Amino acid sequence: MLTGMHVVMVGGDARQLEIIRNLSALDAKISLVGFEQLDDGFIGASKQTMTEIDWGTVDAVLLPVGGMASDGTISSIFADKPLKLGARQLNETSDQCPIYTGITSKRLDKLANDTSCKVVVLMNRDDVAIYNSIPTAEGAVMLSIQHTDYTIHHANVAVLGFGRVGMTVARTFHALGAHVKVGARDGAHLARATEMGLETFPMQQVKEALCDIDIVINTIPAKVVTARVLAEMPQHAFVLDLASRPGGVDFSYAEKRGLKAMLAPGLPGMVAPKTAGKILANVIADLLLEQANG
């Protein structure tokens, strides 16, 4: 149980509701910041402003999956106004107070360093990333259906990157009957894709590999689908970028060429917020229980 533990949740989306439910069931005290438009009531959870919280009693801070932007703002679909978390609040917490976030940023890392807090990046964990790859793959299928006029079955699909997300995406499209080829830099990833019955190519050959493609799904957080690559792709191709912002696609050139290209880094929260929220809720609860018992 988390009885006596004070957790501050700052901003977020529908995924946060599952986290609130889980922590409430474990008897944590939860302060909700940026949830003015949330109608649901949760036992042990109260809506508060930054100034109303007794930060000296705070044991952990929970940020949304998107974390903190470069200007210090934190997004929330339930908030009446923009949210900001600063050193003034965190300096009152205990040393090494954990800040749980989906992804981090230079701004958040600096803030944590300046206040002796500890950033815990949930999306860096294998368990979270692998579980999240399931709704991500389903979302990729949904968007591909919505933005093309041909079936996935027999479509030529390229998946760039074969990590925790890329592997699930490639397997899903392959199971739906697509002709899937995988581009990766790591020889071990190419070997695994080959073992799965998928066509492969090294990323140095990405321009040639995409010249006959129908759907490109990028998971690499670096500029790999450049103007030079896009220039050789068929006009009907659909490009879906699942990498974290700013993604790995030259969207400006794609627009000039008239190609359909979309950046969608937060698919689990869009297509399956309840499932995605449960994934995060279970991991966060385990981490807080470790902290409480440590």
Is residue 1 assigned to a domain?
no
Residues 11 and 117 in one domain: yes
192 and 219, same domain (yes or no) = yes
| CB distance 35 to 46 below 8 Å | no
Same domain, residue pair 41 and 84? yes
Considering its fold, how many domains does the chain have in total? Answer: 2
* Tokens found for residue 91: 């300096």
Would strands 238-241 and 156-160 be described as parallel, antiparallel, or unpaired? unpaired
Count the neighbouring beta carbons within 10 Å of the beta carbon of residue 250: 21
Average pLDDT of the segment spanning 72-79: 92
Domain harbouring 236, CATH code: 3.40.50.720
Residue 89 lies in a domain: yes
pTM, rounded to two decimals:
0.88
CA distance 266 to 273: 10
**Whole domain around residue 254: which residue ranges?**
128-263
Ranges assigned E (strand) in 55-144: 60-62, 73-74, 83-84, 98-101, 118-121
Domain co-membership, 139 together with 237: yes
DSSP summary character for residue 242: -
Q: What is the pLDDT of residues 206-256, one digit of tens each?
A: 999 999 999 999 999 999 999 999 999 999 999 999 998 889 999 999 999
pLDDT of residue 244: 84
Read off the pLDDT band of 42 (50, 70, 90). Answer: confident
